[in-house]
């Protein structure tokens, strides 16, 4: 199977999350990448596979979860830097600029991180997905000031278009103590 797409369904119910996960796996030839409860009582399902299968899977997961879907997306040709950022912080020695995109939705934040990474020459540092964040999510990234600004603007526009943007910030030459606190 060619894995060139991921699908995400974010739900307001844990029970609906389990049901949606099962339906998504039964509907198409996809692999479960992530399925877990997240703050605040929400559930997130992420599957991977070829674009058509992921689209079918997400559609099935959304259909079975009437009224519980917060957000969903299918992302094809996702930037390869997104997955390591989901897994944890990528260390950086020196930052010319620090960018942060904050969203009310995990799904829209992953979309934003992908858009940001594709928009400019930046390094995604971390994607924090709703755990101990009241259900919100945020991405941190670094690069030159102009690249970080372009990336943050592109990512924030994606989230803003869905009405889920909390905030966006670009910090030129962040203080060393701030960088140390991020690790």
Task: Classify 5-76 by CATH class.
Answer: alpha beta
| Percent of the chain predicted with pLDDT > 70 | 92
| pLDDT bracket for residue 85 (50, 70, 90) | confident
| Percent of the chain predicted with pLDDT > 90 | 64
What token pair was written down for 110? Answer: 């992953």
Mean pLDDT over each residue of the chain, to the nearest integer: 89
- The segment with the largest mean pLDDT, out of 11-25, 27-41, 72-86, is 11-25
* pLDDT value at 105 more than 90: no
Q: Provide CB contacts within 8 A for 126, sequence distance 6+.
A: 85, 88, 89, 90, 139, 140, 182
Plot region of 105 (φ>0 → left; ψ -120 to 50 → alpha; else → beta): beta
pLDDT tens readout for residues 28-62? 999 998 898 888 888 999 999 999 999 999 999 99
- When comparing pLDDT for 37 and 116, which is higher? 116
Sequence ranges of the chain with CATH classification 3.30.70.1710: 5-76, 82-182
Residue 85: phi, psi to the nearest 5?
-70, -35
| pLDDT bracket for residue 132 (50, 70, 90) | low
- When comparing pLDDT for 129 and 70, which is higher? 70
- When comparing pLDDT for 69 and 86, which is higher? 69
- pLDDT at residue number 1: 43
> What CATH number should be reported for the domain whose range is 82-182?
3.30.70.1710
Angle between helices 106-119 and 145-161 (to 10 degrees): 140
């Amino acid at each position: 199977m060619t894995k060139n797409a991921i699908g995400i369904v974010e739900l307001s119910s844990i029970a609906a999350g389990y049901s949606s996960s099962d339906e998504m796996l039964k509907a198409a030839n996809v692999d479960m990448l992530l399925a877990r409860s997240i703050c605040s009582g929400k559930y997130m399902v992420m599957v991977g596979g070829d674009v058509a299968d992921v689209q079918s899977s997400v559609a099935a997961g959304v259909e079975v979860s009437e009224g519980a879907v917060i957000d969903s997306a299918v992302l094809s040709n996702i930037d390869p830097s997104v997955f390591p950022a989901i897994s944890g912080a990528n260390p950086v020695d020196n930052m010319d600029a620090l960018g942060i995109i904050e969203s009310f939705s995990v799904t829209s934040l992953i979309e934003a991180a992908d858009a940001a990474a594709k928009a400019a020459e930046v390094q995604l540092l971390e994607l924090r997905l709703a755990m101990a964040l009241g259900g919100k999510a945020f991405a941190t990234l670094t690069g030159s000031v102009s690249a970080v600004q372009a990336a943050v603007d592109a990512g924030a526009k994606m989230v803003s278009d869905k009405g889920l943007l909390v905030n966006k910030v670009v910090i030129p030459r962040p203080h060393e103590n701030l960088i140390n606190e991020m690790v």
